[in-house]
Structure 1
Amino acid sequence: MAPTLTHRLRVEAQAVWLAIRDPATPWSARIVGLLVAAYALSPIDLIPDFIPVLGLIDDAVIIPAGLWLFRRMIPEAQYARHRAAAEAASERPTSKLGLAMMIALWIAAAWLMWWTVRVNWD
């Protein structure tokens, strides 16, 4: 069965993260990798996501272009090693307890914000 797009993106992102932390990675490649990751995770985009079609196209073009540039900046063998490690990590079982703890943390944070607003408005 062919890997899904989300699986491939998750593996690529983790491979970039591992390569950035590798001391053998040149500083210029580390900077490009960090910029790509920051743009991918940033809520601020060049074109806001709420604009139909165009809002998503910038993510679909800029992030893969940044990944392509990053891969060209480091040796292929080094990236293949990190990609294999990321692929192996993606096959590990996930923690349902960890997921439950994160959901509980988000619910607690939302309740705390609601309670703070409610107390300050009364």
Structure 2
Amino acid sequence: MNALTPTTTAALPLALCLPAMLLLSQTMDRHCEQILRRGEPGRRLRWGLRLGAALLLALALQCCMHTWGPAVGAVAWLGWLSVAAWLQVLILTYAPRRGTALALSASTMVLSHTAVVAAGLAA
């Protein structure tokens, strides 16, 4: 039984996919320069960013499959992944620094709300 609200359940995969797309964008020199004002991220940092993105995407996939089952969950995950990619394109095109800060703060708010709700359910 899923006691989280439908809004939280729908926003959680997006809150995980959006930072993952941000991490993946930072592995590219151009986008790293746009946001961090730093040129090439370096080989170790690049692999760390990719690993972090892969972990966030795997967690989003697990969340979707747990909520909607394997068949619908995989399709929902692809949908949220597409939405996050389009949001990342818009952010990098129109407001790279402010948009990134806004996206990360929104994701943090959703994740912290979900953690509070889940902690309240466990008690």
TM-score by structure 1 length? Answer: 0.32
Q: In terms of Rg, which structure is larger?
A: 1
Query: RCO greater where, 1 or 2, for CA within 8 Å and sep 6 or more?
Result: 2
TM-score by structure 2 length? Answer: 0.32
Answer 1 or 2: which has greater helix percent.
2
